[in-house]
Amino acid sequence: MSDGTPCTDDLNDCTDDFCDVGVCIHPDLPAGTACGSSADTQCDNPDTCDGLGLCLDNFEMDGLICDDADICTDPDTCLSGVCSGPFGADPPLLAGVGSRAFSVTPVPPGSGTIQAIRITSPDHPCLLKYVDGMGNLIDTPVFMTPDDWGTVIVTGAEIVPSSTYGVQAECATDIGDVAFVSTYSWGDTDGNSLVNIFDITCALDVFQNQLGFCPFAAADIVPCTPDGVVNVFDVVMAFDAFQNGSFPCVGPCLGGGCCIGTDCQIVDDLGMCDGLSGIYQGDGINCFPNACTPAPTSPQGIAASRYPETQISLVADTSLVSAGDLLEVHLYADGIQNVRGYQLSLSSRRNQGWHVVQEEIRTDKSDFLFAGQEVLSAANQDHTILAATLDSAITTTDTRYLATFTIQIDRDDLDEFTISLNPKTTHFVDPKGNGIAVQLTGNTLTTVADLKAGTRIQQQSLQR
């Protein structure tokens, strides 16, 4: 072969292959000659020869920041010419905040990795749920960055006392390490494993909007799906727990009663009831008494009893008022049956001609409904008051005192105005903590007629 004729390839991209004086030689190609991979990415440049017969990878420096286009990884860096990153979510920070709730804080802060919050439980193997932005448990994942999540309070029918829950970050096929948190025992609000007067006080403090050491979620313990309201039902349940009362709802993997309209069906679990668009009552056996036909004033998910002969009357301490005067309105009840606690508030609307300046329960009155018993009473900033006895209920045919509202008359240029109870925040409770659902037959409590000397008060009553 003549010199320069190509000869057998030595399979080295950085050498030339040709004949020289009858011999096949393989001299090195000049430095910078293209070889190997031509890939040109964030972490890899096209390969070139070094002039000594070697093909250089030309990878970018390991650790160089890059973007692998995977929303589930963070931080992304170069390693051996490849851009990649770990699943960017650490196990979340968790804390118990009561018997029906716990807090979740996704981490790390500042991470751009979106993640869903996945909830399971070794105590309730059927449970697999995700958390939405409001802390409710749902079936499909919601993705946000840790900063967007912040700290979320997780609650729902599936979050029950004395249970351990596993919490993980999830993104696409990536699932992070699990962290565990336990709810408090039933009625325990401070996590000391005891249920005592301080836990009852917690519920009362939250009712009065005094959010000191006691978290709101620790006091919001009923109904079976906590409703974001702390009222007389929560306070009475705290009393029950103090008296060793058992948790009134079932766990997430047990069956129970499902109310579909007025029909009660027994289902295997809460999810089946949700699928039937029903209200889950479940005690593991059947529906609670009358649970499928609650009155509008009874919170959904709490059994209701009916005592239609109960009547509430509003009595003013004077029959003549003018603008600027204070008027005491006393509430009395007739036909009380099996009442352990109550919550009362007056309706409020714009330009009604009066406003509440004080509300109280005068427990020293001889005709007080719970006279002579150990009673806790409270009032909140919304001018709603409650009273509840610790250990018994009252049935009486006598007229009994309930509460007093002091209102200030704002104007006397109206022909009339009304004072009425607010049906949404007025409740009576039986010994089991169930709402006593009673039918309103009228809501005009006090009628005012404009007279020259002032405003005449005419008394009416409200039957419940």
Question: For 3-54, how does the pLDDT look when each residue is reduced to its tens digit (9 = 90+)?
Answer: 888 998 999 999 999 999 889 999 999 999 999 999 999 999 999 999 999 9
Read off the pLDDT of residues 69-105 as tens digits, 9 standing for 90 and up. Answer: 887 887 889 999 999 888 878 899 999 999 999 999 9
Strands 304-305 and 435-436: parallel
Residue 256 confidence (pLDDT): 61
327 plus 290 within the same structural domain: no
Give the burial string for 191-201 (b: 16+ CB within 10 Å, else e).
Answer: beeebeebbbb
E strand intervals along 282-369? 304-305, 311-316, 320-321, 326-334, 336-339, 341-345, 354-360
- Residue 126 lies inside a defined structural domain of this protein: yes
Which residues face 144 on adjacent strands? 115
- Residue 262 lies inside a defined structural domain of this protein: yes
- Residue 190 lies inside a defined structural domain of this protein: no
User: What does the alpha-carbon distance between residue 258 and residue 263 come to, in Å, rounded to a whole number?
Assistant: 8
2 plus 146 within the same structural domain: no
Residue where a domain stops, chosen among 182, 213, 230: 182
Residue where a domain stops, chosen among 68, 85, 102: 85
458 plus 422 within the same structural domain: yes
Output the domain CATH number for residue 111.
2.60.40.10
- Residue 249 lies inside a defined structural domain of this protein: no
> What is the secondary structure of 186-222 as a DSSP string?
TT-SSSSS--SHHHHHHHHHHHTT--SSS-HHHH---
C-alpha angle 413-419-421 in degrees, rounded to nearest 5: 160
pLDDT band at 438 (very low <50, low <70, confident <90, very high): low
User: What does the alpha-carbon distance between residue 408 and residue 383 come to, in Å, rounded to a whole number?
Assistant: 13
330 plus 438 within the same structural domain: yes
Read off the pLDDT of residues 268-312 as tens digits, 9 standing for 90 and up. Answer: 666 777 777 777 655 444 454 434 433 333 333 334 444 556 778
Residue bearing the bigger pLDDT, 328 or 210: 328
Report whether pLDDT(184) > 80: yes
204 plus 260 within the same structural domain: no
Contacts of 323 (CB under 8 A, 6+ apart): 409, 410, 411, 412
78 plus 98 within the same structural domain: no
Residue 357: φ, ψ to 5°: -110, -20
- Residue 192 lies inside a defined structural domain of this protein: no
pTM of the model as a whole:
0.65
- Residue 251 lies inside a defined structural domain of this protein: no
Which residues face 321 on adjacent strands? 455
294 plus 279 within the same structural domain: yes
Low-confidence winner among 283-287, 370-374, 396-400 (lowest mean pLDDT) = 283-287
- Average model confidence (pLDDT) across the chain: 81
> How many domains are there within the chain?
5
Amino acid (1-letter code) at residue 89: A
E strand intervals along 6-96? 18-20, 23-25, 48-49, 55-56, 77-79, 82-84, 90-96
Q: For residue 295, what are the domain limits?
A: 256-302
User: What is the four-CA torsion angle of 396, 399, 403, 405, rounded to 10 degrees?
Assistant: 160
Which token pair is 369? Answer: 């409904």
Nearest residue to 181 (alpha-carbon basis) of 269, 117, 244: 117
331 plus 282 within the same structural domain: no
- Residue 443's alpha-carbon distances to 41, 306, 427, in angstroms, are 75, 19, 15
10 plus 153 within the same structural domain: no
326 plus 456 within the same structural domain: yes
- Residue 289 lies inside a defined structural domain of this protein: yes
Output the domain CATH number for residue 396.
2.60.40.680
- Residue 451's alpha-carbon distances to 227, 278, 353, 412, 455, in angstroms, are 46, 54, 15, 9, 5
For the chain, give the number of residues.
Answer: 464
